[in-house]
Structure 1
Amino acid sequence: MRIRTVLAGAAALLVGATVLAAWPSTADRGGPRWAVDDDSRADYGVCRGTDPGCYHDWETAFKTDGVDRVLVYSATGVSRHAHLGPRLAPGMNPPLTDAHVAQQAMRRWGTEHGLSVDWTEDVLQLDSPGKLLGYDAVVFLSNSRDILDDAAQTSLMQYVRAGGGFVAVHNTLGAEYHWPYFQGLLGGAAFYDHGPSRNGRVEKTSRRDVSVADLPKRFVLKDEFYNLAPFPTGVRILAEVDPDTLEGGGKGFNGHPGHPDQHPVTWCQYYDGGRAWVTSLGHEVALWRDGDGNGDADEQARLFKSHVVNGLLSTMGKKAFCRA
């Protein structure tokens, strides 16, 4: 009896150790619910980083159908940015109004470059791989918190693994905190907090990547600059904001956790067979309007449009991706 009891106890300890080993590390978890001071590189069980060898160059449907398609997914769980307008009706390509500034911009910009653009906030439109594999890129646009169910998560994973393109804009860094795979797709980074929307000087950290190639080396942009914790790891940082230039001060973002001397705003990586381009920029409604003048707001909108459009095109494989 004593032997059986000891063996049972040992087995229980082994099972417990296995469960603990399977639980993601702090760096895997991401988001403000967890400790935010561990930026150690996590591999998320996939090939990720700046090595093109992590990309799956398979003959997936979107590479062979002769049509350049993009899906814009703007579902939100809690907070909702003004540039998204009111929640969209269910289904694919529901009616858009003038208030849906960002969705209208993505459709307009795509059309200008010969892309076929669909849009939705209906998670059922993402619930099987077949629904995504016809798209050259999927744009997650200012999402917040939980915006995917189990079926959609599986579908997105299979899409990325088939060589899909993933673009994340602005508040998507505050989505799916509890899904480690998605946090890895974002570069291991997550939104922690931000100061007021204000002007700051954005600086390019890449010379050749197409998403920044047409931008000045330094330029002023008004945005809701994010404090990130954890910090992105294993990615190529393409642009960052100088915290010393933020209107009203902001060095260290009021002492909150993060990296007071470095605040990346855009980065890229290969992830689990696919391509991922992430930017925290895009808060101001004015950035999504093309403008019709020569003022500062119009110039900022022009630069932002160039940044997003070329990031999207590179993620689709229509231009070189993630260059230093």
Structure 2
Amino acid sequence: MRKISKAALGLFVGAAMCVAPQVTAQSEAAGHTLTVDAGPRAAADPAYQVLVFSKTAGFRHSSIDDGIAALRDLGTANNFTVDATEDAQAFTSGNLAQYEAVVFLSTTGDVLDGAQQTAFEQYVQDGGGYVGIHAAADTEYDWPFYEGLAGALFHSHPAVQSATVEIEDRAHDATAHLGSTWQRTDEWYNYRTNPRTTARVLASLDESSYSGGNMNGDHPIAWCKDYQGGRAFYTGGGHTDESYTDPAFRRHLLGGIRWAAGTTNADCRPETGYTALFDGSSTTGWKQAGPGGFTLADGTLTSHGGLGMHWYSAKELTGDYSLKLDWKAVGDDNSGVFIGFPASDDPWTAVNNGYEIQIDATDAADRTTGAVYGFQSADIAARDAALNPPGEWNTYELRVTGERLEIFLNGSKINDFTNTDPARSLKDGHIGIQNHGDGDEVSFRNLRVKQGDGQQPGPRSGEVKGVNGKCLDVDNSQTADGTEVQIWTCNGSGAQKWAVQGDGSLQALGKCLDVSGGGSADGTRVQLWTCNGSGAQKWAPQADGTVRNPQSGKCLDASGGTWNDGTPVHLWTCHTGPNQKWTLP
């Protein structure tokens, strides 16, 4: 399916200016709830279409009509058209292709037959978006694809009552308008499984704030995930009629739709094991280096003046680690994140002995957003595709493994840098955020770190690029065991989206990259196959750019010597030629 182009979104990309840092921290408590009306956006999204599906084969919610009306209102105000239906015959490949997202609005029971399920699976695998609202989790219990898409299925619920919703991710467009907690009344579902290991949890319930929660204190209620080439967002709210006149809930739905439709980006990879360095309530452990400072309000540090740097003096990061933080620029503003520098109240120490990961979308290539400032440009095309425009939040992950630094923007890898300067080291040092100068206003939230696991903070997904810049591709997006894997011009489809799993497997369309029969002979077919954990499905990236199957000791290889679209991949003795060099997400 055609996804909305980033060029059409009017993203700010190109060049900007940053050099040293400095900072002072100032006051104010955070955490109050914001309720923001879902009016028209300052920069309108390009027009797109959304299908709202509300067929019920079980309990029918009285709020469905209110939900459709609210979604139509959101569409009118935000440049998308809503087609609402309860006719499952809308689920054909041809019809679904016109929609950027499909909303399951409190559907219940078995609502699609086998052919309709197949069409919807293909739609998602081709990059389509899914939004599930409330009883969308009470649907299609015997369809494994749907359970994976929704993230979790309904178990039970107590009576409608008020509860405290804890906002875990304030960068996603569905929750960025909220404070750290959100008090609201709804019917709070319990789920059969916990989606935290497969999805990014955006909000969860404080089970001590209401009666009837049964998920042992870890109770996700809204989440997002990349799934078999598409995007999936779910919220458990929306049982009551009143939900759909609540401005905060309407804005929550709008953010989920925008993300599922591809008009905004977010890091929706699962996230566990991180420790807060700045949690929004206090700057304890942080110090200012140089002039200027940061103002603390609503759980957010916002820069003013400079050049300065606010640095985390309480702890030096050593060894492998993953640092994540959320940031937002108001306009064409300048800031950056420093890592790997020794303790000092002089911001130039960070400049001269560490590395800055730039925030400024309009500077030269080696000093624009995603660049290791002055050393290495980001992959500009990948950066442009992942970057949200001024006024919207972005998430950086800075992953340090030895002297290697991988930079992820909203979950997409945009830079891969290795330090070779003995005067600098990524293996140990402090981190800091820059206030660049008067007129540069950049905000930061939720700085957190995971140490000792820098290589595997969660599955990574994206394109696997090989010879001639072509992508590893599943032939015709088929999912049958034995489907050929080939190289093809990169096109952003689900057939080219691979997840690098912690067990060493590479997965696309819900299946694994597999050496046929576990063979080891040169020319052995490499194919798609049901994941089984065997050695035939383990792949190990090497420092020389090759990807090796450890069981056979041989490399993933694009066959032949011309490497056109459709060239199959196979197993071959490792020789580090261009047809054995791969860039993983």
Aligned-pair distance for 1:133? Answer: 0.8
1:317 to 262, 282, 307: 262
| Equivalent position of 1:177 in the other structure | 141
| Counterpart Cα distance in 2 of 1:67 and 1:309 | 14
| Equivalent position of 2:460 in the other structure | none
Amino acid at match of 1:285: D
- Secondary structure of the structure 2 residue equivalent to 1:311: helix
1:121 to 86, 104, 109: 86
| Equivalent position of 1:131 in the other structure | 95
- Alpha-carbon contact 1:142-1:170 (below 8 Å) kept: yes
Q: Give the root-mean-square deviation of aligned CA atoms.
A: 1.6
CA distances 1:138-174 after superposition (whole Å, capped 9, x unpaired) = 0000000101111210110010010001000000101
| Equivalent position of 1:167 in the other structure | 131
| Equivalent position of 1:234 in the other structure | 198
Aligned-pair distance for 1:241? Answer: 1.1
- Secondary structure of the structure 2 residue equivalent to 1:177: coil
2:112 to 143, 148, 161: 148
| Counterpart Cα distance in 2 of 1:204 and 1:196 | 22
The answer to which structure has the higher helix fraction is 1
- TM-score, reference length from structure 1: 0.68
Q: How does 1:185-224 map to 2 (within 5 A)?
A: 185-187=149-151, 189-224=152-187
Amino acid at match of 2:239: H
For structure 1, the residue ranges without an aligned partner over 5 or more in a row are 1-59, 85-99, 290-300
Compare relative contact order (CA 8 Å, sep 6+) and give the higher one, 1 or 2: 1
- Alpha-carbon contact 2:167-2:202 (below 8 Å) kept: yes
CA distances 1:226-267 after superposition (whole Å, capped 9, x unpaired) = 111122131100001101111xx33xx3xxxx5221111100
| Counterpart Cα distance in 2 of 1:309 and 1:156 | 22
| Counterpart Cα distance in 1 of 2:175 and 2:2 | 29
Using the TM superposition, name which of 208-217 and 165-174 deviates more. 208-217
| Equivalent position of 1:270 in the other structure | 226
Aligned-pair distance for 1:62? Answer: 5.0
Aligned-pair distance for 1:321? Answer: 2.9
| Equivalent position of 2:251 in the other structure | 306
| Counterpart Cα distance in 2 of 1:67 and 1:213 | 23
Q: Percent identity?
A: 35
1:77 to 24, 34, 57: 57
- Alpha-carbon contact 1:190-1:231 (below 8 Å) kept: no
The answer to which structure has the higher strand fraction is 2
| Equivalent position of 1:157 in the other structure | 121
| Counterpart Cα distance in 2 of 1:158 and 1:215 | 34
Q: How does 1:29-68 map to 2 (within 5 A)?
A: 60-63=1-4, 67-68=47-48
- Alpha-carbon contact 1:62-1:133 (below 8 Å) kept: no
For structure 2, the residue ranges without an aligned partner over 5 or more in a row are 9-45, 269-394, 396-585
Seen in structure 2, the aligned counterparts of structure 1 residues 221 and 322 have a Cα distance that, compared at 3 Å, is farther
| Counterpart Cα distance in 2 of 1:227 and 1:161 | 28
Amino acid at match of 2:54: S
- TM-score, reference length from structure 2: 0.38
- Alpha-carbon contact 2:4-2:262 (below 8 Å) kept: no
CA distances 1:185-205 after superposition (whole Å, capped 9, x unpaired) = 012x11000000100011101
- Alpha-carbon contact 1:76-1:145 (below 8 Å) kept: yes
CA distances 1:31-70 after superposition (whole Å, capped 9, x unpaired) = xxxxxxxxxxxxxxxxxxxxxxxxxxxxx33547974010
- Secondary structure of the structure 2 residue equivalent to 1:213: coil
Pick the structure with greater CA Rg: 2
- Secondary structure of the structure 2 residue equivalent to 1:70: strand
- Secondary structure of the structure 2 residue equivalent to 1:321: coil
| Counterpart Cα distance in 1 of 2:119 and 2:255 | 26
| Counterpart Cα distance in 1 of 2:232 and 2:263 | 14
1:109 to 74, 82, 88: 74
- Alpha-carbon contact 2:93-2:119 (below 8 Å) kept: yes
